[in-house]
Amino acid sequence: MALTFEEAVHAVRARPLVARDGPAHVVISTDTRTLRSGEVFLALRGERFDGHHYVEAAVRHGAAAVVVERQPATALDVPVLLVEDTRAAYMRLAAAARAKTRATVIAITGSTGKTTTKELLGQLLRRTYGERVALSPANENNEIGVSKLFLSVPPNAQVVVAEMGARHYGDIATLVDIARPDVGILTNVREAHLEIMQTQERLAQTKWALFSTGARAVLNAGDAVSRERAAELPESPRWFGTGSVRPPEHQQTKGVYFLDRRRLRLIDDGRDELHAVDVRLPGDHNVENLAAAIAGALEAHCSPSEVLAGLADLELPAGRYESFLIPDRARIIFDAYNASASGTIATLDAFRAEKARRRIAVLASMAELGSSAPQLHRDVGAYAARSGVDLLLVGGDHADELRGGAQGGGLRAEQIIDFRTTGEAAGWIRENTTPDDVVLLKGSRRYKLEEIVEQLQR
């Protein structure tokens, strides 16, 4: 949503240092490589970059004004807005832009399932609102990504879906201050980022801040934190779940429940309807993500009939249980967009259903689990063994714990192969698999398991 120059100046709490007229409407750019003539360049700083080094280049490329923390070394012929902190200024600009939009804002956070829920929700919303839906791109879910989203919302948008990630205690509250969501979807509160959050309680507090400005809540009926804290909300949430999971009876005023992949129960203020469906997304965890997306679409005033009509065409986002056929070798399932213990176990459950001569799992380690990491890796290794994998490749910082857990779960030592690099894993797959095998790749993004797919496709 575009701001006038006067609105932008007020938002960043600055005065132009150069007495020149600014652009009528402000479009913010933070990258000179994509900056277009007439846009305003904002010089962000990070650990490995400093946009102030490119201020003069931005002006040469046509910037109509610049937002900086320090006065440029050379005189500029455009308005210069001097602020204390350009990152904070970027967030204030985004909050001002959000205040101007009339769109329904839906924010999504949780330990797992955020991006999948966001993408499924976006597909459902577009059946009702067409291109008048704005979504966080890819995994841009920190303060820069959320700010970028609101500064780019088109004037005709009717729904904005913002994914929110937390890497530090209190992060969600910061993002909520920008987005002021009308609806908040909390997928779950699990073990992700414990290394940074330190305790499960601090993690729960951080996630629950999603509702700190009054967003209507969409909660997972199977999530312990949501069940415990729901009574704190000013109005009853819309619950979602799968199987037999339900919230406390007195809170069942609104709900979306998949009884199984062919039956969907919708409860909404007195109406209790059972619908025949056919969900083909792999993995029970993705059925749960779909239930969350349906609940979000209903909160955005999509009709149940429109939502149900869109279920057959839904697709998972890239990096989630993607299937690749390697000529003369195994089928590869890539699910390494990210990895937590609960997420890996859910993926192993989906992998168990794959029909193949041999099911081979390639597990890299998981990140940001703190002191719980050794035990959680042993738990995942044991679960892999019990889930029926025939062979297990283990790598990363906690490969020994994965191996130990798998042996404790019943795999023999010769069924477990260590790999140190993606090249080693790709070479083993190339030399030891046939088209009758299926291979799962799962691990933290830091281990770049996508390189295994790339090497096998060469």
* 32-72 tens-digit pLDDT: 999 999 999 999 998 888 999 999 999 999 999 999 999 89
- The Cβ-side half-sphere exposure at 270, using a 13 Å CA radius, reads 0
* CATH number of the structural domain 322-456: 3.90.190.20
Return the biggest CA–CA distance within the chain. Answer: 76
A 10 A CB-CB count for 235 gives: 10
442: DSSP letter: E
Which of 433 and 252 is assigned the larger pLDDT?
Answer: 433
Residue-averaged pLDDT of the chain:
93
Bridge partners (DSSP) of residue 392 are 361, 416
Which of 211-220, 277-286, 362-371 is predicted with the least confidence, judged by mean pLDDT? Answer: 362-371
Average pLDDT over residues 277-286: 92
Looking at beta carbons, which pairs linking 252-261 to residues 24 or more positions away fall under 8 Å? 255/221, 255/295, 256/291, 256/292, 256/294, 256/295, 256/298, 257/221, 257/291, 258/287, 258/288, 258/290, 258/291, 261/287
Crossing angle for the helix pair 284-299 and 341-352, to the nearest 10 degrees: 110
State how far Cα 259 lies from the chain centre.
26
Which secondary-structure segment (H or E) carries 151?
A: helix 143-151
Q: Cα–Cα distance between 195 and 202 in angstroms, integer?
A: 11
State how far Cα 83 lies from the chain centre.
31
For residue 198, pLDDT beyond 60: yes
For residue 269, pLDDT beyond 90: no
So where are the chain's domains? 3-87, 101-313, 322-456
For residue 245, what pLDDT is reported? 84
Contacts of 299 (CB under 8 A, 6+ apart): 106, 183, 216, 218, 238
Q: Right CATH number for 101-313 from 3.20.20.70, 3.30.70.3400, 3.40.50.2300, 3.40.1190.10?
A: 3.40.1190.10
Which residue in the block uniquely carries the two structure tokens 């719980």? 372
A 10 A CB-CB count for 306 gives: 14
Q: Cα–Cα distance between 28 and 14 in angstroms, integer?
A: 16
Crossing angle for the helix pair 373-386 and 399-408, to the nearest 10 degrees: 40
What token pair was written down for 443?
């691990």
Q: Cα–Cα distance between 89 and 69 in angstroms, integer?
A: 10
- The Cβ-side half-sphere exposure at 157, using a 13 Å CA radius, reads 25
What token pair was written down for 33?
């490589």
9: DSSP letter: H
Name the amino acid, one letter, at 298.
L
For residue 194, pLDDT beyond 60: no
Confidence of residue 197 (pLDDT cuts 50, 70, 90): low
What CATH homologous superfamily does 3-87 map to?
MurE/MurF, N-terminal domain (3.40.1390.10)
Average pLDDT over residues 297-310: 95
